[in-house]
Amino acid sequence: MQAAALPDDSILHTLTSAERPLPSPSVVALELMRALDRRDLGMRDIANIARKDPALVARMIQLANSAIFAGMRPAVAIEEAVLRIGTGGLARLAIAMSLMQASRASSVEGFDLRRFWMTSIQRGLVFQYLSQRVGKMPSAEAFSLGLLSDVGLLAMAVSLGAEAVAPAETVDAQALRDWQRERNGFNQDDASAVLLHHWGFPLVLAQAARARPAHEPQQQGREARLAECVALSRALELRTEDAASDIPAMRRLAEHLELGEDDLQSMLASAAQDMASMASVFDMTLDAKEIDAEFDRLRRALSSPPLQIDTLAEQLLIVSPDAELRGSVRRVLEAEGHGVMECEDAEAAQAILQVEGPRVIVLDWADAEGVAALCRRLRREKGPRVYVLALSRETEQKGVLSALDAGANDVLFAPVSSQLLAAKVQTGARATRVLAAAEAERMHSLRTQRSLEQRNAELMQAAGTDELTGLGNRRALDAFLPTAFAQAVSDRLSLACLMFDLDDFKIINDRFGHDVGDQALRAVGRVLRQQSRGMDFVARVGGEEFVMFCPQTEQAAAVSVAERIRTAIAAPQDDLPPMSVSVGVAVGVAGYVNAAELVRAADQALLQAKRQGRNRVCVAPAKMPQ
């Protein structure tokens, strides 16, 4: 039975009162966390707090320009970063960033600090993608929880020494946590939960880091689902060569969260894609070869077929009209641990084989004609998947050859040596198990390949979707635009670019709160979706920035669409403050060198609309073909 953990205040006291100082978040990061509880503070106030730490501001702007949060224009100010990342995500990521910087001053013999943070970043990415599928948690907040869900391991290593976090011998994840509790009074999950709550994380998020023992019944509700997501992201984390992944536990968690192996492989693929860029935000350098090697090891472990106990190969069938012979063979084989069925003739054997399906069959060759027909039928239908041992009373070559010609694997002469019979059957059973396992692995690989192909297509769609509005995101735009522009050039058709910016969005956020701000963005997304055609492409590409591309659309039609959208957004909407958008329009491809130039023209027209008073449509000057 697992030992109970110390009370939370005792755990915190143990960690913070040790001789070696515990790495702690910066003062600014903790102030940002406290600011989340104040309703009177807006986005500008959050930005001003962040400015107290210039290094943090630089990291947050870099994060806002990463693949996950990038907009049409680079973020250059902390306000833009707050808008894209969100106040909650920014504050919690500030905890992680400052903690990583502080930990670099700590040197713990026997503890690989670089690997700890590399694994933490990968776990954060996996948890982020996982939460999008089952938890609907904002990206930045999900990433921060996954990133810090094992911070207790770091705290224990620094405060108590590497000898306090792992025994000398390698053990599995649950045994490790049991050992930690026995030795220290708490384990790394307990420490993680205590520290996260101490630093200002909501209790429900902090407790998600405290894993439940595997024998506890699965609970329902958001708290249990969060805890299972944390547990699954831990099971999917990168491991060293000598650390085995708990694949069965991983599959059980995934099944309860209604995720298949292809979903897990897709999340790993997404994490691998974003690993290097996210690591650079945390001032860590990872090269492509290192990332590929780490993820390939985990993918291979996950792709291995589930280990199943094959009972069919241990079930045997004896076919003989001689009851005494059947009895003697049964006693020998049952003594070896085999399950034995028996019948008198080939007809009865066929009925048993259709229902039970044993793969090791002992045939009395006394009725040579009947059992030979049965043996041939087995070979036609089962091929090498069954092992047939013939028992012959004839020592002449003719009898042996007839059995082998009918398809028997081997022949023994009656009376049978007990040791030889047991050895032959054991060899046959082993051969059928190996063949069955190879076929199962091949079928598993084929299913996995087909599933991955399907899920990769779904992943590409999911990775290109803005989770707040359901529109495309910057990643989807980067995939769409080069092809669309090239097609327009090839067909000599117009391509219209419409850029939208929600006016005074920062004021909406500050005055009414981020929940209302999110509702406003969703409302804009709905209007854009309603006003677009099937061939049009619509995306949210920044905090309050949207873009629409309309193939085969001339300037007059593009301006008409822009005005229609502007009017619809400006119309009063229930439960939302007054809103308006500024719109920039650029049309044509012949006069533009590339797609980026077309986008810049629309962006300049948008800035002109802002300068002229907002809530209007401005059109970029037409460019003559070059």
Catalytically active residues, by annotation = 544
Nearest to 93 by CA among 144, 136, 130, 47: 144
391, two tokens: 């028992």
CA atoms within 13 A on the CB side of 156: 26
Long-range contacts at 35-42 (CB < 8 A, ≥ 24 apart): 35/87, 35/91, 36/87, 36/88, 36/91, 36/200, 39/513, 42/509, 42/510, 42/511
How far CA 197 is from CA of 132, 193, 214, in Å, comes to 23, 6, 24
Cα–Cα distance between 435 and 386 in angstroms, integer? Answer: 10
Spell out the residues 6+ positions from residue 540 whose beta carbon is closer than 8 angstroms to its own. 466, 468, 469, 471, 472, 473, 521, 525, 546
Residue found by looking up tokens 């200002």 in the block = 200
Type of residue at 357? G
Give the C-alpha separation, 73 to 162, whole Å: 46
> CA-CA distance, 498 to 231, in Å (whole number)?
44
DSSP one-letter string for 165-202: T--SS---HHHHHHHHHHHHSS-HHHHHHHHHHHTT--
**Largest separation between any pair of C-alpha atoms in the chain:** 108
d(CA 478, CA 599): 12
Q: For residue 210, which amino acid is it? A: R
Contact (Cβ atoms closer than 8 angstroms) between residue 499 and residue 605: yes
The CA distance from 167 to 181, in Å, is: 12
Length reported for the chain? 626
Residue of 318, 339, 336 whose CA lies nearest to 327: 318
| CA–CA separation, 393 and 414 (whole Å) | 5
Question: From residue 325, how far is each of 328, 353, 390 by CA, in Å?
Answer: 5, 20, 13
Contact 408, 375 (CB under 8 A): yes
